[in-house]
Structure formats: structure tokens, C-alpha cells
Amino acid sequence: MTTILFIEQMLNGLGYGFMLFLLAAGLTLVFGIMDVMNLAHGSLFMAGAYVAAHVHGRTGSFVIGVLSALAVVLVLALVLEVFLVRRLYGREHLAQVLATFGVILVADDAVKLIWGAAPIMASAPALLSGPIELLPGLMYPSYRLLILAAGVLVAVGLYLLVNHTRVGMLVRAGASNRRMAEFMGVRVGQVFSMVFLLGATLAALAGALMGPLTAVQVGMGEEILIPSLVVLVIGGIGSVRGAFVAAMVVGMVDTIGRAFLPLLLRSFLSPTLVSDLAPAMAGLATYALMACVLAFKPAGLFPARG
């Protein structure tokens, strides 16, 4: 294992962690503040990826594709919030899970109807199609650097929004004691709607940025939803800071496990056994991490206050 390879995989882990953060931040806001378990969050991620890939292919502009994805998913989220999510406020979590799981089934069938069942390939913008030399001998894809920069900007923006703005104060007030906040004149329903739309926008952004790195296909939202829920549990429900830290840790653990665990196992196991065993062990690493965290901190690393 060379130093260049190690640095490359660390950067890949950060990039994957930032994508998880974009998705998990929306989940932790919706669940931690609104107390709504929205399994359809992954479908919004998938919709963002499909719309961005489609518009980018038609117009040739990656920026227009991303903006179109944000706009379309925002409209879809508004419809979903008005006609379904509002009716789930205060309901038990089982009802929320069943209702939003139904949205997943509808979304997957809608995607098959519009784009077909076959995956589509999204391309990165032409200006970011080549690598950049970060260090002597270290050539890294420029598009992955864009993902890192976007993740940092979103993390800083969310921190400032939640902790240093009047909107963030209203969000925290509604989450801590909805009835008291309503007595004080806060329109909690509107605040919750804004939180849901913000989470949907982050999911759409994650899907639009992730599309060029993976195949855009039916079910991609459910695939990334599971590790996002792991991030939610590890970081602490309702904590943006916890979601960020947990996403970075999970991204690193997953990437390092998939990149370096096969190299370690090949030293004392046959290549055939390694090819079967290594992916399974790497996939279990994040769940083992979650179990260890819950054993010592059942509320997560940074549980939300209030």
C-alpha cells in the first residue's frame, strides 16, 4: 500500500461521507425536529439524480441540470408534505413508516414509467472531467473535489442556519415544545414545512452530485437510505453536528474497509475466498461501528438538546 493510494482513499471516504451528510442532515432535521420518520427521503435523492442526469444530457449544462433537480424535487416535496406528511404529524412511527414506504413503491414505478428500468449514465461537467495534481504523483478527479467543496459549504450553511439565525431559533423552539411555541405566536406548521422542504432540497442536491459517480438507477435511494439511517443513529437524532461527524466516520470506515481489507486478507487467504469475504466484512463494518457506539452512548455521539 502506497502513500498516494492511502491519501486517495481518504479523500474518497470524505467525499462519500459528505454525500451521506447531505442525505442524513435532511433526515435528522425531519425526524429529530418534526418527529416524522420519512423513508421516502431516499426517493427524493433518486429523483434529484434522474432529473439532473436527464436535463444535463438534454441541455449540456451541468449547472442547469442541478438547478432543475432542486426545483423539481422541491415541488414534489411540497406536494408530498401537503397531501401526506402533514397528516402524519403526531402519528405513531409505524404509521409514518408504512405511509412513506408506500411512497417509495410509487416513486420506483414512476421512474420506471418515465425513464425505463435500465440504468442511465450521468456525466460530469466538461470542465471537471479531468484530474488535478494535488501532490507530486497524486492525481485526483476534479469532480470529486467539487463534491468535497459542496459538502463543506452545506455543512457550514446548515450550522449557521440552525444555530445563528432567527429561523433556526424558531425551528428549535418548535422542536422543544410545539404547544408553547404556538402560544408564543410561532407558526410551527409553517416552520415544519420549511424544514421538510430544506431536507428534500439537500437530498436532491446529493442525488444530483452523486449521479456522475454511480449509475442512476431505480432503487438507488433505498440503497443509500440505509447507511444514512446508520449515520442518523450514530450521530444522534436531531443533531446536525452529530450527522456531520457520523457521516465522516461512516464514509471513512466504509471506504477504507472496501479498499484495504482485501489487501489485508490476501496475505493469509486465497483470492477466491477474499473476493467473497472482503465485501461482506466491509459492509458489516459500519453496522459494527453503530453497535459499538450504541453500547456506550445509546442516544448517539451528539444527541440533540431539548
pLDDT in tens, 89-142: 778 888 888 999 999 999 999 999 999 888 888 888 878 778 888 777 778 888
pLDDT at 173 over 90: no
Whether the CB-CB separation of 197 and 74 falls below 8 Å is answered with yes
pLDDT at 291 over 70: yes
Grid coordinates representing 195 are 424544514
Q: Which are the contacts of 227, defined by CB distance < 8 A and separation ≥ 6?
A: 20, 250, 254, 286
SS3 for 40-79, per residue? CHHHHHHHHHHHHHHHHHHHCCHHHHHHHHHHHHHHHHHH
- State the DSSP code for 136: T
Q: Which are the contacts of 9, defined by CB distance < 8 A and separation ≥ 6?
A: 255, 256, 259, 260
H or E stretch covering 135: strand 131-135
Q: Could you give the CA distance from residue 172 to residue 157 in angstroms, rounded to a whole number?
A: 16
Whether the CB-CB separation of 131 and 139 falls below 8 Å is answered with yes
Grid coordinates representing 20 are 451521506
Phi then psi for residue 119, to 5 deg, are -65, 155
The pTM is what?
0.88
Grid coordinates representing 220 are 438507488
Task: Compute the CA torsion angle 161, 202, 300, 277 (nearest 10 deg).
Answer: -150
Whether the CB-CB separation of 44 and 77 falls below 8 Å is answered with yes
Highest mean predicted confidence (pLDDT) among 90-94, 109-113, 143-147, 182-186: 109-113
Q: Which residue, 76, 118, 69, 102, is CA-closest to 218? A: 118
* Mean pLDDT rounded to a whole number for the chain: 84
Q: Could you give the CA distance from residue 150 to residue 260 in angstroms, rounded to a whole number?
A: 27
Q: In this predicted structure, which of 45-49, 52-56, 81-85, 180-184 has the lowest mean pLDDT?
A: 180-184
